[in-house]
Structure 1
Amino acid sequence: MPSLISFLHDNAARFGRLDGETVTDLTASFDGRFASLSDAANAGALAELYAADGASVALADVTLTAPLPSPGKIICVGVNFPDRNAEYKDGQSAPANPSLFIRFPGSFVGHGDDLRRPPESEQLDYEGEIAIVIGAGGRRIEAANAWDHIAAVTLCNEGTIRDWVRHAKFNVTQGKNFEKSAAMGPGLLAFTGPDMLADIELTTRVNGEIRQQDRTSRMIFSFTDIIAYVSTFTPLKPGDVLVCGTPTGAGARFDPPKWLKPGDIVEISADGLGTLSNGVRDEEV
């Protein structure tokens, strides 16, 4: 299935469509309407890009970046699988409401780039997730209608600096936003309907070893629940991104913990959505 991507070519930021090993550069295809894939997403125009014409470039000649360079909002969901919830041992079979936090665009790299381990901590951890991109905005969207508000789907490694998450009592923001500590991509797949997401397997591998694996049908809060809940307190707009939760099995849950280290390869895959692959290296300071 073709996907929409952002990439660097000849040191210039571009956007286009990836189909197999061929990139169709769409940057000049809309008479200046869109300077980036985010511009198209924010205009609710992603569907136009899947069929547009442009110059062809070999995939080998470009560097992929995070698909959306400047989304309006990136809202992430925590504790959204039963086994993940059980890690907290608080006696609750499930949380009453989603746990939410915000991520900044600069915390993400694209497919094939390296996650950066900062000098402040060796506790770089992985979290494989599915992200949805809003295509039709709204406020107080009913769950029954929420599928109609999704434009595209992608994969996310919601990388976390685990000890920084625990710096404060009720706040994970700092541990979730180290520069280039997470990844998103490879590209945006057009949302084709509920069957695309309702019961697919999500898997995280580190150096080929399965670390996380679960099915979206077991999510505590479904994709439509998340859209309904978030849109209750803030309007969702085209181009907003919702990152929808990770299964149990993050590195912090092993004894001793299995933190990511330079040279590791992390792969996030899901049925029908492809694979997001990233290496790891130390941040240069």
Structure 2
Amino acid sequence: MKLLRYGPAGHEKPGCLHADGTVRDLSGVVADISSATLSPQMLSTLTATDVDALPVVADPGRIGPCVGAPGKVLCIGLNYSDHAAETGATPPGQPIIFHKATTAICGPYDDVELPRGSEALDWEVELAIVIGKKAKYVGEAEAMDYVAGFALFNDVSERNYQTKMEGQWTKGKSHDTFGPLGPWLVTKDEMGDPHDLAMWLDVNGERRQTGSTSTLIFNVPTIVSYVSRFMTLMPGDVIPTGTPPGVGMGMKPPVYLKVGDTMALGIEGLGEQKQTVVAA
């Protein structure tokens, strides 16, 4: 099932994408697509719903982030060896975890802000894991039982804030609009194997990133299990899993986004996004 949220920011309604391409209203089934509705029990109810009988949303308007109010956004850094190489970093021996503020989350077609004083705004197409069940000290063999589904994510980054200012990466990852999520959450049963998905990103119509989730250093079960050793994962938590090569930081010389630039990106089975860069 492809779950989505539509409507003005802060007032999104739950919906799903029908096989005929229409958006269907899920308001009569659930209040939102969020932590309260991503448990295995609720997902079973949703996937058993007769989508054909749901009301058609004639004009859904804005598509919002596919998960409402995630409790945590925990990103995995340098999780593709070729991306690590282009940034001059050594591929990690263990998953690198960093936080992205939840206020960075936005819709897949919302504008992305260039922060005031920014000179190094960058792009990163990523596969995001969405947690569906409380997870603590989870083994790799059972880790997929705690996953609700997957979504497309753009881990927008300000590289000077990330690498040249003292402290952790968080300040370069957390500006408003630095986390376009969606357009939909594909439930685990429909997604199948998440480890062989083509992914791409264009800037102003030019291909910048081409990759596949088959080259992840740490796969989905490893990530879920590893992160659950250090903190409890809750339903609705989002874990972007890293990006393939082709980011602006890795170009020689580096190339960064400016006001008016557009990003278009996609992952096989998870839809596409498009954003325009605007001044903050």
Q: TM-score, normalised by structure 1?
A: 0.88
What CA deviation, in whole Å up to 9, does each residue of 1:48-94 have, x standing for no partner?
A: 33444543212x4421111122112111000000111223545x4x3
Work out whether residues 130 and 245 of structure 1, in 8 Å CA contact, stay in contact via their aligned partners in 2.
yes
- What's the secondary structure of 2:218's corresponding residue? coil
Match of 1:147 in 2: 144
Q: 1:227 aligns with which of 219, 224, 229?
A: 224
The CA deviation at 1:256 is 3.0
The answer as to 2:266 corresponding to 1:275 is no
Match of 1:7 in 2: 6
Work out whether residues 131 and 148 of structure 2, in 8 Å CA contact, stay in contact via their aligned partners in 1.
yes
Q: How does 1:78-93 map to 2 (within 5 A)?
A: 78-89=77-88, 92=90
Q: 1:238 aligns with which of 223, 231, 235?
A: 235
Match of 1:56 in 2: 56
Match of 1:37 in 2: 33
Work out whether residues 202 and 209 of structure 2, in 8 Å CA contact, stay in contact via their aligned partners in 1.
yes
Match of 1:261 in 2: 258
The answer as to 2:23 corresponding to 1:23 is yes
The ranges of structure 1 where at least 4 consecutive aligned residues each deviate by more than 4 angstroms after the TM superposition are none
Work out whether residues 40 and 46 of structure 1, in 8 Å CA contact, stay in contact via their aligned partners in 2.
no
Q: 1:196 to 1:274 in 2, by over 3 A?
A: farther
Match of 1:178 in 2: 175
Q: 1:98 to 1:84 in 2, by over 3 A?
A: same
Work out whether residues 185 and 270 of structure 2, in 8 Å CA contact, stay in contact via their aligned partners in 1.
no
Work out whether residues 164 and 175 of structure 1, in 8 Å CA contact, stay in contact via their aligned partners in 2.
yes
AA of the residue aligned to 2:71: G
The CA deviation at 1:236 is 1.7
Work out whether residues 35 and 132 of structure 2, in 8 Å CA contact, stay in contact via their aligned partners in 1.
no
> Structure 1 regions of 5+ residues with no counterpart?
none
AA of the residue aligned to 1:187: W
CA distance in 1, matches of 2:257, 2:269: 26
CA distance in 2, matches of 1:105, 1:11: 13
Count of residue pairs the alignment pairs up: 275
Work out whether residues 47 and 190 of structure 1, in 8 Å CA contact, stay in contact via their aligned partners in 2.
no
Q: 2:249 aligns with which of 252, 256, 259?
A: 252
Task: Say what the alpha-carbon RMSD is for the aligned residues.
Answer: 2.3
Structure showing the higher strand proportion among its residues:
1
CA distance in 2, matches of 1:271, 1:18: 16
Match of 2:206 in 1: 209
CA distance in 1, matches of 2:224, 2:232: 10
Q: Which deviates more, 134-143 or 226-235?
A: 134-143
What CA deviation, in whole Å up to 9, does each residue of 1:233-256 have, x standing for no partner?
A: 112222211110011211111233
Work out whether residues 69 and 105 of structure 1, in 8 Å CA contact, stay in contact via their aligned partners in 2.
no
Q: 1:10 to 1:208 in 2, by over 3 A?
A: closer
CA distance in 1, matches of 2:9, 2:224: 38
Match of 2:113 in 1: 116
Work out whether residues 127 and 159 of structure 1, in 8 Å CA contact, stay in contact via their aligned partners in 2.
yes
CA distance in 2, matches of 1:272, 1:39: 23
Work out whether residues 194 and 213 of structure 2, in 8 Å CA contact, stay in contact via their aligned partners in 1.
yes
AA of the residue aligned to 2:205: G
The CA deviation at 1:9 is 5.8
Work out whether residues 109 and 180 of structure 2, in 8 Å CA contact, stay in contact via their aligned partners in 1.
no
Match of 1:132 in 2: 129
The CA deviation at 1:118 is 1.5
Q: 1:114 to 1:55 in 2, by over 3 A?
A: same
CA distance in 2, matches of 1:36, 1:21: 20
CA distance in 2, matches of 1:9, 1:121: 28
